[in-house]
Amino acid sequence: MINLSVNINKIATLRNARGGNLPDVTKFAIDCQKYGADGITVHPRPDERHITLQDVYSISEQITTEFNIEGYPDERYMNIIKDVRPHQATLVPDPPHILTSNNGWDVNGEMDKLKRIIGKLHDFGVRVSIFVNPDEKSIIDAVETGTDRIELYTGPFANDFLKSPMNAVQEYTRAANIASDAGLSINAGHDLNLENLKFFRDHVKPLAEVSIGHALISDALYMGIENTIVKYKNCLD
């Protein structure tokens, strides 16, 4: 089984555009779980432009499926993880002013920092995944950090997929093989969608989890969230 974790940041963005509590982010997370999502992902940025701190605590109290909190590991983020103890903490290298995660860690350059942070997260009893580019050096260095998983940044794959699917996926296939041989579990995320997800699944093995937000929520505007989750799950089965 490859797990589908639904990133619900965009639902919070929609709510925040108007104020109030419509749509209800926590209820949406519960409904995603009911419709078959294997996990819920949130990224609580310091400016709370989408997911708020209150959202994090509310969702953590209501869902029974896996909860993945991603973010830049500053003091605020570490305090959230310490309080909530989600199933997984996904570390991304983007500081607060970045619009969205768009690159993997410079693992070697941040080695001491990542080792220290991952050690603390393990002390909290939380599984750790770090966002990496699909190159051999980053993956081998990731092993040294002590992380449990890597999340392959799939933006370049999605960008190149329409031009040449096989060329687009080759480095990800190789990266997954290296990571698996090194004992790391493999997640993936960024711009995966209904057009490219099945192809990615077929060529990147073993794959533990994909985290999808923007494309999935956009599809749900036309198809409804229940039907959309079913379609994404079908791509992974």
Q: How many helices (H) and strands (E) does the chain have?
A: 11, 8
Annotation says 190 is catalytic: yes
Classify residue 39 as exposed, middle or buried by CB count within 10 Å of its CB (0-12, 13-18, 19+): buried
CA distance 224 to 237: 20
Which tokens belong to 227?
Answer: 């039907």
Q: For residue 71, give the DSSP letter.
A: E
State the catalytic residue, choosing from 50, 66, 70, 209.
70
Distance, CA of 12 to chain centre: 16
Sign of the dihedral defined by the CA atoms of residues 175, 125, 102, 228, in that order: positive
State the catalytic residue, choosing from 43, 50, 66, 151.
43
CA distance 181 to 197: 23
State the catalytic residue, choosing from 50, 66, 151, 190.
190
Q: What would you measure as the largest C-alpha separation in the chain, in angstroms? A: 49
Which tokens belong to 163?
Answer: 């031009």
- Name the residues annotated as catalytic: 43, 70, 190
